[in-house]
Structure 1
Amino acid sequence: MPKHLIHLFCFLISYAALAQMQAFKFQDVRITDGPFKNAQDIDLKYILDMEPDRLLAPYLIDAGLPIKDERYGNWESIGLDGHIAGHYLSALAMLYASTDNQELKTRLDYMLSELERCQNKNGNGYVGGIPQGKIFWERIHKGDIDGSGFGLNNTWVPLYNIHKLFAGLIDTYHYTDNEKAKTIVIKLGDWFMDLIEPLSDEQIQNILKTEHGGINESFADLYIITKDEKYLDTAKKLTHKNFLNPLLQKEDKLTGMHANTQIPKVIGYEKVASLTNDEELSEAVKYFWNNVTHTRSVAFGGNSVGEHFNPVDDFSGMVKSNEGPETCNSYNMLRLSKALFFNNNDVSYLDFYERTLYNHILSSQHPEKGGFVYFTPIRPNHYRVYSQPETSMWCCVGSGLENHTKYGELIYSHSNSDVFVNLFIPSTLNWKEKGIELTQNTQFPYENQSEIVLKLKKKQTFALNIRQPKWAEDFEVLINGKVQKIQTNPSSYINIKRKWKSGDNITIKFKTATHLENLPDGSNWVAFVDGPIVLAAKTSTEDLDGLFADDSRMGHATHGKYIPLDQAYALVGNKDTYLSKIKDIGKGRFSLDSLELQPFFEVHDARYQMYFQTYSQEEYKEKQALLKQQEINAAALEAKTVDKVNCGEQQPEVGHLYKGEKSNSGFSDDKFWRSTRGYMSYQLSNKNLQGKFLDIIVLDELKLDNVDISINEKPAKIISTKDKTIRINVSDMEVIDVKITSVDGKPTPRFYELRILKE
């Protein structure tokens, strides 16, 4: 073929055959239109509504410096003091890099100057907002350690807390090249290494029993920044062996575990594996990712119920709960998916990333009023709660601040010379080093096509690789209006290599199909999914109690009534007829009898139904009658309950001021529990003296020989002990401090639940 003719090669390539993929800088990509741009703008307003001096107050208090404004309330004043500031640094840095908004830079510089001032005042490299931090860390340094899951020496997840600051400083340096952030985080890292230097491996593993975020990843990042091996050695030292070892053996031990305690650890493992070429560790990470995404995630990408991994063969607890998948989990699963995508040359990781981005992350912020979602229930006819800048300081507010700043991170990627289009999101790319600019115009998911226009400084030859998603049908590529001959294959790239000129127009067209997805347990609950978009129906605006959260400890969870499950819309008929019930009415919407299905990320300020039960005509009446009776029984128990604690679960325990020594928690026979060889205590509330009895339920043979129980520092008035339940009279007590103490250090039974009852 003559050299002066254009050589056009359109063929399919697998990601594994590509040169090493790299991310573009945030500065190179701009979101231009659509729901993602709106979400970014709404997040910007929320970020600017927050007050840096209030976020910094815990750090000034701990450093012994005068505060400039009162610290925030909520979680920022009851033990997790200072954790939001680390997320705030990350959000400021990423959104500044993504928008060049100068107010964000001003705030970022101010946050860093104040943290530097606190660090200098402390004098040893430490900076933190943990309550009575100096006393706490000195105990750890001396080897005085008692880890019990969510508490370390009765302090609420302090390593998780300080990891947020590590991550915020590292992100600031990574995304903005800020040298002050680098200096602060290196000093902080050196302080932490000095802190744990005297500790044995056993003592460090005891610390790692508690939730510690991605502290191992932070030290891997410090190694990347400094190239000093001591930081990589520390990252390895901070490996939680009891959690990792089953993954290395490809054993699923995740059920019952607190989900977001585990995912950040794995992100750290993935980074260490890539830095050390540890293939065994890398395979363990992939095993975890596959397990969570394929057997533990629902249609919109989220996982867990009440923050814990539920059994893979039973999602009924999630269907019934108001505490569905936690947004932090998806935040971290996307971070893990992104890392695996870049480090393994495997485009299939983008299928999960895209699904979760559109359906969980995008839906987790109110598109008009702002505010972040903690739990996304899949319970039919339930709803979500949104944070407010002045009242809500949950972990999902911290990750939420970040989620909507970085939508440009994976729209495009590149090898040494070629461009890859990964997502169909309106945006621009400016690859300055290569003189390549492109604009992507699309209304997806409301329109099944995308147009890319090139702007080049000169004609040049490179490959434009366009991802064909797993869900895309009849995939078609046109260049300057001419259809190209391509070989298509889902979850791969269409590779178009030619000499491009400025103004070249590439149009991508495809079709989507609507399908049903069962819950991973194979039960009869299904969701409608169109392409990658999960559909749901608004069902009512009745009793949206606490829709915008107050400052209560559990303000992130819904308080409105449960609509019985037997009243939810169900699909009745043969399997072949379920899909035929919906009719496409345009703009991503479908009619389903009296309901209208729409993209879930559009559903706000309402109760909704995402999952539908399927029945044959023959089984409908019988199964509905059984479901109705189950709902009646559950509602009757809740109606006579004044307060309760589920032992061994983070939110109920922290919300009831759990304290303990030599205490362990676990998950057995589908139940959480806690036991002790020291003591464990909770504070319950008997509002308006409605409750008459406190029932304490155990999972083992009920013997009180090894247990002392006190109520408000007095011996408990035990009425009865039968059916593994201890009943105590609390009729005249409004605040009930329950303390369970081991006798002579003997192990207590496993305690399952404490419940105050009206009768």
Structure 2
Amino acid sequence: MKNIFKHSILLAIIFASVFPTAAQMQTFPLQSVKLTNGAFKNAQDVDLKYILALNTDKLLAPYLIDAGLALKAERYGNWESSGLDGHIGGHYLSALAMMYASTKNAELKSRLDYMISELARCQAKNGNGYVGGIPQGKVFWERIHKGDIDGSSFGLNNTWVPLYNIHKLFAGLRDAYQFTNNKQALKVFIGLGDWFADLIKPLSDEQIQIMLRTEHGGMNEVFADLYEITKDKKYLQIAEKISHKAILNPLIQKQDKLTGLHANTQIPKVIGFEKIAQLNGNKDWSDAAVYFWNNLTQKRSVAFGGNSVREHFNPTNDFSKMLESNQGPETCNSYNMLRLSKALFLDKNDLQYLDFYEKTLYNHILSSQHPTHGGFVYFTPIRPNHYRVYSQPETSMWCCVGSGIENHTKYGELIYSHNQQDLFVNLFIPSELNWADRDIKLTQKTQFPFSNFSEMIVNLKQSKNFKIGIRFPKWTSQMKVSVNGVNQKFTAKSSEYILLSRKWKNGDKILVELPMKTHLEYLPDSSNWAAIMHGPIVLAAKTDTTNLDGLFADDSRMGHEAKGKLYPLETAVALVDDNKNYLNKIKTINPKKLEFSFSNLTLIPFFELHDARYQMYFQTMNSEEFTKNTEKFKNYESQILALEANTVDKINCGEQQPEVDHNYKGEKSDSGYEEGHFWRNTKAFISYQLSNKNLEGKFIEISVLDKFKTENMAFLLNEKPLEILSNENKIIKLKIPDSENLTKNLVLKISANNGVYSPRIHQIRLTIKP
């Protein structure tokens, strides 16, 4: 009887079982996971070359300038010398640290140690713990310390996102310590943290919240990290104090106040809310992070995982502006959404976070780097027949270059995870895991997604009991698992783990089969635009290779924007079927390459599509709807294209990049979003610099959202009064004096008179004709 009982238990253990939750999850160090081949290994190798192509002394130059030390090389241009000086240097520290942890490349460690020593030298010269590259940093921070604060969405005292900038250095110092155990990095990190603590000490909570209106990255997160490292409670208190309540409180109340906000400004704040909640046990803050994540992933994200149009959250019920724009989802957003997804997965043990993580990793992050010569993508348009632009090491210093050099260093961070005893396989990427503490090795061999199979080989010095959990992805319903050729029974469902519990021996083989189906994923606004997916992979079609202006970016301020000709939307291919059998139109060409076709298009994985215009979203409709929609788009686009043909330059007021690009300055100014329009007003003045290309601009049109009296406003161009031609239908038309037509750079100053606010200004256009 005793032996029968033992035998029954043994059989129960051998069978695979469901594992929806687990003891607290932990990641493996990057040093423990080695990529072996495939697209991710290639991306890591290409990123390594890009990282090594950058010059450390050029990246350090802004810090040396601020500290008053002699330069060893002139700083980079582009964003690194136009206000965000030093921000790439912080990202570079993180990239060096994580790539070194992933590859053990000695040159990376040498560069990292050198940069940290130089930053320490700058910190010592400054004498108060501060080190930074922000232009005129000492003057700027002294104003903040005295409570002289004028904050807007991206300008703090007319300085371009200084807190966002210095956050990159904070994060880089943290990563240098955590990934490479650089003790000097920790010392500089703590010194910088203490300087910031002294900086804000005289400020009231209200003043701090005003300061936080301006984009500030994950400042609350890095102070929570400082607390976690040092256990000094003052850092956790600062983390709580510098958490932006205007964003946090609506999320706690489960109120969606996100439409119109600058997207990547908000995501790092929420990562901080979640981090702080893990440390102080504040459930409301963690619930706020979950609500935010659910809102973005279910209501605001497109098929490849990205979100935002022109860097802002669009309305959840209308993605039309994103479909029209050449500025689709920003890669930085997905960089941060992966960080938030990872944090929530580790906190909640919920595999829905991995489903989103996987989709975004393959379709946005992997696709955002050119797979041969390198270069990173800022905007990924979903507009049919448009394209992306790639950075170059010497010309491009955008935010998405900073996050880009990090993105491809850390692919090993979540392929596997573990609790105290057991191992979990989360992603199907060829790799080798070395769990040194448990003396367990696992080799994963797969060609996924080009194959439905993944083989895992267990390597042990001696047999031992533990569990291996295999993630059951959301996108498949017929998963199969065998161990040493024996099929395993399980009751697990999608977004759960299949748990294999047994006494493992050296050489045991697990074979996982992951059948994938082709399906449509519609935009969240319930429109008829759909992406074609195969399993978790977005399929898209190369449509053209003409007019790829600026495909490889120059050093211009907006070089990251694909400014080539917009091809009319009515020329986009649609899925047309009167019986709504749209999937029947899609035929398999080569399953081993994931090649499909319909109409005259060949569909391939989007992460393999480069150097071309493409179509990722397709309208689904019957033949009658197709005829009507084609005519509608044709009429609409003819009006838009005529307006653009008459425009020499334009500014979308209240949007970060257009305003920075046009050298925005102002006082007593607010910005916002209402009724589908961004806007900016002022009770003092605002000014912009317009570019009169080819000296064609003769008139200025200012679109406003409110009625106003002309005596309450004044308009100056290069300090000379402008004549108001008309003020009708909330459009002010101004004539440029003939004497200014010969000037390429036109500075427009708009002043509010008589102590009243100006109307909310939506857009400014420099035009050829009135």
Shift of 1:116: 0.4
Does residue 10 of the first structure (1) align with residue 5 of the second (2)?
Answer: no
Return the letter of the residue paired with 1:149: S
Are the aligned partners of 1:24 and 1:413 in contact in 2 as well (CA < 8 Å)?
A: yes
Between 578-587 and 747-756, the greater mean CA deviation after superposition: 578-587
Does residue 362 of the first structure (1) align with residue 366 of the second (2)?
Answer: yes
Of the candidates 597, 604, 615, which is equivalent to residue 609 of structure 1? 615
Q: Structure 2: how far apart are the matches of 1:703 and 1:259? A: 35
Does residue 124 of the first structure (1) align with residue 134 of the second (2)?
Answer: no
Q: What is the DSSP-based 3-state SS (H/G/I as helix, E as strand, rest coil) of the residue aligned with 2:649?
A: strand
Aligned CA RMSD, in angstroms, stands at 1.1
Shift of 1:709: 1.5
Could you give the per-residue CA deviations for residues 258-307 of structure 1, whole angstroms, max 9, x where no partner exists? 00000000000000111111111111111100000000000000000000
Match of 1:402 in 2: 406
Return the letter of the residue paired with 2:180: T
Does residue 620 of the first structure (1) align with residue 626 of the second (2)?
Answer: yes
Q: What is the DSSP-based 3-state SS (H/G/I as helix, E as strand, rest coil) of the residue aligned with 2:192?
A: helix
Shift of 1:615: 1.6
Shift of 1:575: 5.5
Could you give the per-residue CA deviations for residues 609-650 of structure 1, whole angstroms, max 9, x where no partner exists? 000012212222122101111111111110110000000001
Q: Structure 2: how far apart are the matches of 1:49 and 1:40? A: 14
Q: Structure 1: how far apart are the matches of 2:724 and 2:619? A: 44
Of the candidates 376, 380, 392, which is equivalent to residue 380 of structure 2? 376
Q: Structure 1: how far apart are the matches of 2:152 and 2:432? A: 49
Return the letter of the residue paired with 1:612: F
Match of 2:315 in 1: 311
Q: What is the DSSP-based 3-state SS (H/G/I as helix, E as strand, rest coil) of the residue aligned with 2:540?
A: strand
Shift of 1:685: 1.1
Match of 1:689 in 2: 695
Match of 2:391 in 1: 387
Are the aligned partners of 1:79 and 1:131 in contact in 2 as well (CA < 8 Å)?
A: yes
Could you give the per-residue CA deviations for residues 305-354 of structure 1, whole angstroms, max 9, x where no partner exists? 00000000000000000000000000000000000000111111100000
Match of 2:762 in 1: 752
Q: Structure 2: how far apart are the matches of 1:67 and 1:483? A: 65
Are the aligned partners of 1:148 and 1:662 in contact in 2 as well (CA < 8 Å)?
A: no
Shift of 1:473: 2.8
Return the letter of the residue paired with 2:276: V
Q: Structure 1: how far apart are the matches of 2:131 and 2:489? A: 60
Return the letter of the residue paired with 2:249: N
Q: Structure 1: how far apart are the matches of 2:471 and 2:14? A: 16
Are the aligned partners of 1:427 and 1:440 in contact in 2 as well (CA < 8 Å)?
A: yes
1:119-268 matched pairs, under 5 angstroms: 119-268=123-272
Are the aligned partners of 1:148 and 1:661 in contact in 2 as well (CA < 8 Å)?
A: no
Q: Structure 1: how far apart are the matches of 2:65 and 2:166? A: 15
Between 685-694 and 396-405, the greater mean CA deviation after superposition: 685-694
Could you give the per-residue CA deviations for residues 333-386 of structure 1, whole angstroms, max 9, x where no partner exists? 000000000011111110000000000000000000100000000000000000
1:461-472 matched pairs, under 5 angstroms: 461-472=465-476
1:337-736 matched pairs, under 5 angstroms: 337-574=341-578, 576-585=580-589, 586=591, 587-730=593-736, 732=741, 733-736=743-746
Q: What is the DSSP-based 3-state SS (H/G/I as helix, E as strand, rest coil) of the residue aligned with 2:334?
A: helix
**What is the TM-score of this pair, normalised by structure 2?**
0.97
Of the candidates 715, 726, 751, which is equivalent to residue 741 of structure 1? 751
Q: Structure 1: how far apart are the matches of 2:422 and 2:545? A: 50
Shift of 1:598: 0.5
Shift of 1:574: 3.2
Q: Structure 1: how far apart are the matches of 2:581 and 2:346? A: 41
Q: What is the DSSP-based 3-state SS (H/G/I as helix, E as strand, rest coil) of the residue aligned with 2:659?
A: helix
Return the letter of the residue paired with 1:189: G
Are the aligned partners of 1:12 and 1:489 in contact in 2 as well (CA < 8 Å)?
A: no
Return the letter of the residue paired with 1:674: R
Q: Structure 1: how far apart are the matches of 2:252 and 2:86? A: 35
Shift of 1:449: 0.7
Shift of 1:159: 0.1
Could you give the per-residue CA deviations for residues 33-64 of structure 1, whole angstroms, max 9, x where no partner exists? 00000000000000000000000000000000
Match of 1:104 in 2: 108
Task: Decide whether aligned partners of structure 1 residues 334 and 393 sit closer, same or farther in structure 2, where only a CA change above 3 A counts.
Answer: same
Are the aligned partners of 1:475 and 1:488 in contact in 2 as well (CA < 8 Å)?
A: no
Of the candidates 326, 345, 350, which is equivalent to residue 330 of structure 2? 326
Write out the 4+ residue segments of structure 1 that deviate beyond 6 Å after TM superposition: none
Shift of 1:14: 4.1
Between 737-746 and 540-549, the greater mean CA deviation after superposition: 737-746
Q: Structure 2: how far apart are the matches of 1:198 and 1:693? A: 48
Could you give the per-residue CA deviations for residues 413-450 of structure 1, whole angstroms, max 9, x where no partner exists? 00101000000000000001111001000000000010
Q: Structure 2: how far apart are the matches of 1:293 and 1:303? A: 8
Of the candidates 89, 94, 98, which is equivalent to residue 90 of structure 1? 94
Q: Structure 1: how far apart are the matches of 2:734 and 2:109? A: 58
Q: Structure 1: how far apart are the matches of 2:762 and 2:711? A: 18
**What is the TM-score of this pair, normalised by structure 1?**
0.99
Return the letter of the residue paired with 1:222: L
Between 617-626 and 570-579, the greater mean CA deviation after superposition: 570-579
Return the letter of the residue paired with 1:487: T
Are the aligned partners of 2:19 and 2:498 in contact in 1 as well (CA < 8 Å)?
A: no
Are the aligned partners of 1:387 and 1:397 in contact in 2 as well (CA < 8 Å)?
A: yes
Could you give the per-residue CA deviations for residues 430-474 of structure 1, whole angstroms, max 9, x where no partner exists? 001111001000000000010000110100000010001011232
Are the aligned partners of 2:153 and 2:213 in contact in 1 as well (CA < 8 Å)?
A: yes
Are the aligned partners of 1:673 and 1:750 in contact in 2 as well (CA < 8 Å)?
A: yes
Return the letter of the residue paired with 1:10: F
Unmatched segments (≥5 aa) in structure 2: none
Return the letter of the residue paired with 1:687: K
Shift of 1:9: 3.5
Q: Structure 2: how far apart are the matches of 1:114 and 1:620? A: 62
Between 121-130 and 169-178, the greater mean CA deviation after superposition: 169-178
Q: Structure 2: how far apart are the matches of 1:292 and 1:348? A: 13
Q: What is the DSSP-based 3-state SS (H/G/I as helix, E as strand, rest coil) of the residue aligned with 1:284?
A: helix
Q: What is the DSSP-based 3-state SS (H/G/I as helix, E as strand, rest coil) of the residue aligned with 1:27?
A: helix
Are the aligned partners of 1:10 and 1:494 in contact in 2 as well (CA < 8 Å)?
A: no
Identity %: 64
Q: What is the DSSP-based 3-state SS (H/G/I as helix, E as strand, rest coil) of the residue aligned with 2:757?
A: coil
Task: Decide whether aligned partners of structure 1 residues 749 and 507 sit closer, same or farther in structure 2, where only a CA change above 3 A counts.
Answer: same
Are the aligned partners of 2:18 and 2:492 in contact in 1 as well (CA < 8 Å)?
A: no
Q: Structure 2: how far apart are the matches of 1:248 and 1:452? A: 42
Are the aligned partners of 1:127 and 1:188 in contact in 2 as well (CA < 8 Å)?
A: yes
Q: What is the DSSP-based 3-state SS (H/G/I as helix, E as strand, rest coil) of the residue aligned with 2:710?
A: coil
Could you give the per-residue CA deviations for residues 166-205 of structure 1, whole angstroms, max 9, x where no partner exists? 0000111111111111100000000000000001111111
Q: What is the DSSP-based 3-state SS (H/G/I as helix, E as strand, rest coil) of the residue aligned with 1:359?
A: helix
Q: Structure 2: how far apart are the matches of 1:100 and 1:734? A: 51
Are the aligned partners of 1:12 and 1:492 in contact in 2 as well (CA < 8 Å)?
A: no
Q: What is the DSSP-based 3-state SS (H/G/I as helix, E as strand, rest coil) of the residue aligned with 2:220?
A: helix
Q: Structure 1: how far apart are the matches of 2:147 and 2:752? A: 23
Q: Structure 2: how far apart are the matches of 1:449 and 1:96? A: 30
Q: What is the DSSP-based 3-state SS (H/G/I as helix, E as strand, rest coil) of the residue aligned with 2:726?
A: strand
